[in-house]
Every structure is written in C-alpha cells, then in structure tokens.
C-alpha cells in the first residue's frame, strides 16, 4: 500500500499512570476499536491516523507510552512532540494526583510551547467516580498558567 502524502506530521504523546486507559484511547482514535482486555504497554506503542483539517492532510503519530515506573518514557520520547495528553482515570484518585508529576516531566523534557491536554478517562464508569469534574477543570485551568 502506498504511503499517503501529508502536509504535516504531528506527534502526540499519551502519558499517565498504568491502567488509566491510554491504550484504548489510542486504539479507539486510530482504529475505531475498543479492547476491553488490553494489557499494560511496555515501552511505547505507536499508532497513526491521517486526518483532514482546513484542506490540509495531517498525519498524527500517537505514542501510547507505558505508565509503569520501570517502563517510564525515556527523554527521547519527547523529541518532536507537538502535544501531550495527560490521562487520568476518573475512578482512581491517585492517577489524578500523579498527573502533576507527569506534568513535571513534560515541563522538564518537552519542547517549549508543547500543547498539554488533560484527559479524564473512563467516564462510562460515572458511578465509581472519585475525581469530580470540577477538580479536573480546576487542574486543567492551571495548565494554561504553568510554564
């Protein structure tokens, strides 16, 4: 199959604790599939998707990274990244609290001006929510002013 020509290539890194759902976010976006039995990622698992935006073709490289400490993202993962998605599980408060640590890694190793998005995942488990929407919004609002 021939490579698709594109105007831009954007690398987006998914960061967060293990089991917050980074792999399923990536597979849902890139292949439109949900994998209920997904296993923890070791190292990095890249996925690609071609999207159109304002008559431009963009190749998105989504890097699903390991959340386990022993498989933590090496500094080189941040090279050329234009955006990071900090993912936490709304049913696991600790994953939300650890988002500040993940943010510190982005600030330390990411390029100046890197776009940072906070993602509260597993909203289908609303009945087990331990992080309120307001808490997520408050932390996301601080992202704009940190830097």
Helix, strand and coil content of the chain, in percent to the nearest 5, comes to: 35, 30, 35
Interatomic CA distance for residues 51 and 62, integer angstroms: 12
- Bridge-based pairing of strands 56-65 and 44-53 is antiparallel
Provide the pLDDT for residue 33.
78
Read off the pLDDT of residues 37-78 as tens digits, 9 standing for 90 and up: 777 677 777 889 999 999 999 999 999 887 755 545 567 788
Provide the pLDDT for residue 117.
94
Candidates 22, 18, 38; CA nearest to 30 is: 22
Tell me the domains of the chain and their CATH numbers. Answer: 8-145 (3.40.50.300)
Crossing angle, helix 133-145 and helix 99-109, to 10 degrees? 20
For the entire predicted model, the pTM comes to 0.85
Interatomic CA distance for residues 28 and 119, integer angstroms: 14
Per-block mean pLDDT, blocks of 10 residues, the chain (147 long): 80 93 86 74 81 94 76 72 96 97 91 93 96 96 68
Provide the pLDDT for residue 38.
72
**80, 48 contact by CB (below 8 A):** no
Provide the pLDDT for residue 26.
86
């Amino acid at each position: 199959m021939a490579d698709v020509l594109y105007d831009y290539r954007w690398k987006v890194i998914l960061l967060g604790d293990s089991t917050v759902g980074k792999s399923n976010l990536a597979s849902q976006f890139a292949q439109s599939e949900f994998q209920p039995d997904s296993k923890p990622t070791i190292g990095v698992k890249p996925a690609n998707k071609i999207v159109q935006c304002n008559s431009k073709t963009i190749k998105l490289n989504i890097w699903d990274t390991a959340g386990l400490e022993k498989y933590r993202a090496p500094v080189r993962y941040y090279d050329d990244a234009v955006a990071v998605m900090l993912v936490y599980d709304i049913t696991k408060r600790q994953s939300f609290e650890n988002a500040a640590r993940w943010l510190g890694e982005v600030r330390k190793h990411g390029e100046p001006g890197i776009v940072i998005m906070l993602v509260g995942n597993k909203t289908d488990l609303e009945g087990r929510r331990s992080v309120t929407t307001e808490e997520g919004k408050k932390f996301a609002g601080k992202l704009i002013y940190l830097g």
